[in-house]
């Protein structure tokens, strides 16, 4: 990496936590941040899921650790942030990626499904932002990257809890940016388009819905987890110091259709 690229996009000396990073989009992003030079913390609900990822990253010479936590439990989220800060003594980058989805028509959407989705996708995100934000405010710098969704902008079908949670994540991103931008902390969000992950398995398997979705994506394909790598490194790096409060769609052109 040239001196210019290292200065603008390199993450040496930075510590990054990516929630829900044992697979899917989170795995792609934690790999990218590590490749850019960051020391990375891998997170998932089950400790057993973290070891293969940390072993893979360590084999490249990266400094990494895994911390298991249930992002649907506020106390667990607080513990996660506390341990992340304690690992190297500071936390520079937080990527709030962990999320769940429950599919059912609104009239049949249970309280249990609604609460489960909001607990992880919104309450967990706010709790992590608040805890990491306190640390970053004390240091005068930091990057928070929330993972939003196309349903931050649109309503979706049969996912009222998920749509509500992701709409709220977009507004939370702006609210935190308004408070913290002048204090050295940039808060932004990435809104992935239709990506090939476990969360979209039902849509991919539905021939009718999959065809409808694909026909509206100008790029002509579903997204892959690796399509987020450049955006997350950019938002975590010095190159994005004057970019804050934004929800960036990485969607193959869907929002422009």
CA atoms within 13 A on the CB side of 133: 22
Cα–Cα distance for residue pair 255/154, rounded to 1 Å: 9
Residue 210 near residue 241, CB atoms below 8 Å: no
9, 162, 222, 254: the active-site residue:
162
Of 12, 1, 2, which is closest to residue 238 (Cα–Cα)? 12
Cα–Cα distance for residue pair 29/32, rounded to 1 Å: 5
194 is catalytic: no
Q: Which residues, at least 6 apart from 89, have a Cβ–Cβ distance to it below 8 Å?
A: none
190: β partners: 147, 248
Active site residues: 162
């Amino acid at each position: 990496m040239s001196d210019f690229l290292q200065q603008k996009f390199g993450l040496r000396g930075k510590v990054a936590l990516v929630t829900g990073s044992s697979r899917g989009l989170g795995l792609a992003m934690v790999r990218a941040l590590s490749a850019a030079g960051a020391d990375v913390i891998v997170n998932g609900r089950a400790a057993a899921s973290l070891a293969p990822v940390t072993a893979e990253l360590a084999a490249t010479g990266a400094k990494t650790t895994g911390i298991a936590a249930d992002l649907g439990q506020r106390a667990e989220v607080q513990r996660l942030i506390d341990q992340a800060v304690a690992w190297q003594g500071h936390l520079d980058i937080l990527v709030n990626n962990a999320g769940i989805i429950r599919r059912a028509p609104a009239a049949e959407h249970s309280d249990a499904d609604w609460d489960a989705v909001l607990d992880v996708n919104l309450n967990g995100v706010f709790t992590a932002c608040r805890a990491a934000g306190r640390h970053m405010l004390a240091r005068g710098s930091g990057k928070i990257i929330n993972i939003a969704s196309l349903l931050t902008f649109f309503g979706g079908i049969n996912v009222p809890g998920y749509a509500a949670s992701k709409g709220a994540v977009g507004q939370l991103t702006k609210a935190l940016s308004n408070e913290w931008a002048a204090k050295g902390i940039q808060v932004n969000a990435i809104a992935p388009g239709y990506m090939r992950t476990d969360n979209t398995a039902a849509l991919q398997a539905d021939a009718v819905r999959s065809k409808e979705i694909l026909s509206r994506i100008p790029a002509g394909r579903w997204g892959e987890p690796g399509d987020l790598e450049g955006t997350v490194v950019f938002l975590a790096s010095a190159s994005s110091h004057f970019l804050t409060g934004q929800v960036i769609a990485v969607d193959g052109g869907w929002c422009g259709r």
